[in-house]
């Protein structure tokens, strides 16, 4: 749906979907479509016909499924490639575990970037220059005790670990700042933190509620602020840290994945109410533009 931040008539954008992500030119929204088939689809930013992104597996007997949560389906800066977390089903030959893949945005053969023997990978996110993909990695499935943020070359090659245990990486999405200098993430200790993409010590920007799903985190296009979801709210905090501001949505229900549009005027987010998943748009950030850019 589309809805002004101050409230108004809602217009439907998609029937269902999870993890919405904007195309770099703002023309389309990519998202994880049907819950059971676990595939990626896109829809025009103002609504219209859903277009599936067909994903082919290198294993003939395997079906490649986009994981949820933590699938991400993030679109590359040039709009040509999607990165996502996937796993193989119905195969005796394909490896197990969660793997980071890339696939052309119009569909095609998926290419694996991570090795499942090194840990389960999830939450991939493109660097602004398209050279790197940040993601989280767990040595033990379902454990937050050994989760770290890693960087993988987008063209393939050995990944490198960015964080250590003291950086409190939890089950989290990651988000690059627009200039590529910083990566933000949710911490195990109910915080939002940021760390230099070159490495170093993470710092706390703000706290989140214990009930937060930690599944929505997005930088403003100017890099000055971070938007995030916290259970039933969307909030915005300065990139330097401080007190967050609640953004009124007019939506009554759970708010999960979030993505800020390239022009800075609109949010796409996943809303959940009555057991149904919906893709929403929210625009007209008049108060936020006046106070922060």
Please give the model's pTM, rounded to 2 decimal places. 0.83
pLDDT digits (tens, 9 = 90+) for 215-252: 778 999 999 999 888 877 888 999 999 999 888 777 77
DSSP conformation class of 290: H
Rounded distance between C-alpha atoms, residue 184 and residue 178, angstroms = 11
Backbone angles phi, psi at 249, to 5 degrees: -110, -25
Rounded distance between C-alpha atoms, residue 293 and residue 286, angstroms = 10
pLDDT digits (tens, 9 = 90+) for 125-160: 999 999 999 999 986 554 555 789 999 999 999 999
Tell me whether the omega of the peptide bond preceding residue 69 falls within 30 degrees of 0, making it cis: yes
The segments of the chain whose pLDDT lies below 70 read: 1-15, 34-38, 68-71, 139-145, 211-214, 279-293
Q: How many residues does the chain have?
A: 293
Q: CB of 88 within 8 A of CB of 97? A: no
The four Cα atoms 98, 153, 106, 108 give a dihedral, to 10 degrees, of -60
């Amino acid at each position: 749906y589309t809805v002004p931040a101050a409230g108004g008539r809602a217009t439907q954008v998609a029937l269902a979907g999870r993890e919405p992500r904007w195309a770099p030119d703002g023309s389309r929204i990519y998202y994880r479509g049907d819950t059971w088939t676990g595939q990626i689809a896109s829809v025009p930013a103002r609504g219209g016909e859903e277009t599936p992104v067909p994903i082919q597996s290198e294993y003939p007997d395997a079906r490649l499924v986009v994981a949820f949560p933590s699938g991400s389906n993030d679109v590359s800066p040039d709009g040509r490639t999607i990165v996502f977390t996937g796993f193989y089903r119905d195969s005796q030959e394909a490896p197990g575990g969660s793997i980071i893949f890339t696939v052309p945005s119009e569909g095609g053969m998926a290419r694996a970037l991570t090795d499942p023997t090194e840990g389960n990978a999830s939450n991939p996110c493109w660097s602004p220059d398209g050279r790197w993909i940040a993601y989280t990695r767990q040595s033990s499935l379902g454990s937050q005790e050994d989760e770290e943020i890693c960087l993988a070359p987008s063209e393939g090659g050995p990944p490198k670990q960015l964080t250590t245990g003291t950086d409190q990486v939890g089950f989290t999405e990651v988000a690059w700042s627009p200039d590529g200098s910083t990566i933000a993430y949710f911490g195990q200790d109910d915080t939002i933190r940021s760390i230099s993409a070159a490495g170093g010590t993470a710092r706390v920007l703000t706290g989140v509620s214990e009930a937060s799903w930690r599944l929505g985190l997005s930088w403003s296009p100017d890099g000055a602020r971070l938007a995030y979801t916290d259970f039933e709210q969307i909030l915005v905090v300065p990139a330097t840290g401080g007190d967050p501001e609640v953004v009124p949505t007019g939506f009554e229900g759970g708010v999960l994945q979030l993505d800020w549009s390239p022009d800075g005027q609109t949010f796409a987010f996943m809303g959940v109410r009555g057991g149904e998943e919906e893709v929403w748009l929210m625009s007209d950030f008049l108060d936020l533009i006046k106070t922060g850019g």
